[in-house]
Amino acid sequence: MKLRRQQMILEIIEEKPVATQEELAEELLARGIKTTQATISRDIKELQLVKVPVGPNVYRYARPHKLEPPRSNERLRRLFRENVVKVDFSENLVLIRTLPGAAQGVASALDHAGWKEIIGTVAGDDTILVIVKPRDVVVQVVERLESLLR
């Protein structure tokens, strides 16, 4: 039942703007699923839904990856230009050196960029370790990272 309800929630928020948990409960009820506000609240948390602006003082629920992908690429490029000092690699590991205190922000932007070749990052204060899979694409990933600096 939980899986079905959560799938229905995802379908509802894709089909129409839903701004409140009450609206979501009404939509679920219209589709034959009766639930409580507490359950919807837990579902929203588990699905990691976020509220995104759709107008002045108007918000709707959305999946987190739906947050303006074009802007995230612009943000990544800006973060690289302003904070990255050096990019180097060995095998399938890429090391990115940043200004002090900037590594976590750059790594987070890289994690959310959706590059399929990157399976994860680990960030310290001024160093990011990027894990690339498969190993034979690491040169292309490094070239792509370096292009963000230009």
Looking at the chain, the whole-number percentage of residues with pLDDT higher than 90 is 79
Structural domain boundaries of the chain? 2-66, 70-147
Question: Among all chains, which residue has been given the structure tokens 């837990």?
Answer: 42
| Whole-number pLDDT of residue 55 | 83
Domain 70-147 has CATH 3.30.1360.40: yes
Neighbours of 127 (CB within 10 A): 15
Question: What would the CATH number be for the domain defined by 2-66?
Answer: 1.10.10.10
- Reported as a single tens digit per residue, the pLDDT across 103-121 is 999 999 999 888 999 999 9
One-letter amino acid at 70 equals: P
| Dist CA 63 CA 27 (whole Å) | 17
Kindly state the DSSP code that residue 21 receives in the 8-state scheme: H
